[in-house]
Amino acid sequence: MEHHPESSDASVEEHAIPSLPVRIVQVFVSPAALFDALRRQPAWMGATLGLIGLGIALQLLTPVILSEEAWRQVIETQVAGPGAAGADQAAVEQQVEFLLTWGPALGAGSAIVITPLWLCVLAGLLLIAFNVILGGEASFKQLLSAAAHASYIGTAGAVVSIGLMAVGAEIVTLSPGLFLPEMEGFIGRFLNGINVFSVWTCGVLGVAVSRFYPGRSVAAGTTYLLVLYLIFVAAIAVFSGLFAGLAG
């Protein structure tokens, strides 16, 4: 039997996945093609390291890009969470000053630890629903690859928010609440807590589900993740209201 090295090389080239920069672009413009490639050849390491690198860069560059006043506002918003209601103001101010100095370094360190853990959680949620419960056969590595690439949407959202703050906007999470009349109570907190980039991420991972699990629709994966996300946002809104009520 004749061996045709040219045919073998062509086959390898046909099934090779694009470079990481190309794959990141595909997340935004052609996720179906991306996930078809990742189904054949999962690739999560480079994408994860890229997310960690971008996370570190954003943490270190944000206080440089923003004005001193805007950076302080970011920190004060982080410190003034639900549990801070009624707290000693001297202690709160001390915490703000500490984070103004050490926040970027701590954030950079947390990006190294939290990023891979979050990606594993996201892949695990998909594995539980579509493998364990519904009997699918996608591998954890495939799902981890999808989660790592889809998470670049959230990074893009962070860049947009930082850019808006850099040009003078107030602290911005792009949410439905920005485009609606101001609302009080649970509904207001709930709508303001929804990040449109997180919703977009759910949709893109729905595309991954449709490519990794034959017979499953984009809507199936999107709905599953979106419901979990909205439950999480609603829980935060409820607890924020409870803490505010106790403080009042």
Backbone angles phi, psi at 194, to 5 degrees: -80, 120
Q: Quick one: what percent of the chain has pLDDT higher than 70?
A: 88
Single out the residue of 127, 82, 91, 90 nearest to residue 242, CA to CA.
Answer: 82
Residues listed for the chain: 248
pLDDT in the model for residue 74: 84
Query: pTM of the full predicted structure?
Result: 0.86
Q: What is the identity of the amino acid at 79?
A: V
Whether 56 has a pLDDT exceeding 70, the answer reads: yes
pLDDT in the model for residue 13: 46
Q: What is the identity of the amino acid at 21?
A: P
Going from N- to C-terminal start, the domains of the chain cover: 30-247
Sign, CA dihedral 149-108-195-190, equals positive
Helix, strand, coil percent content, the chain, rounded in steps of 5? 80, 0, 20
Contacts of 114 (CB under 8 A, 6+ apart): none
Average pLDDT in the 16-26 region? 95
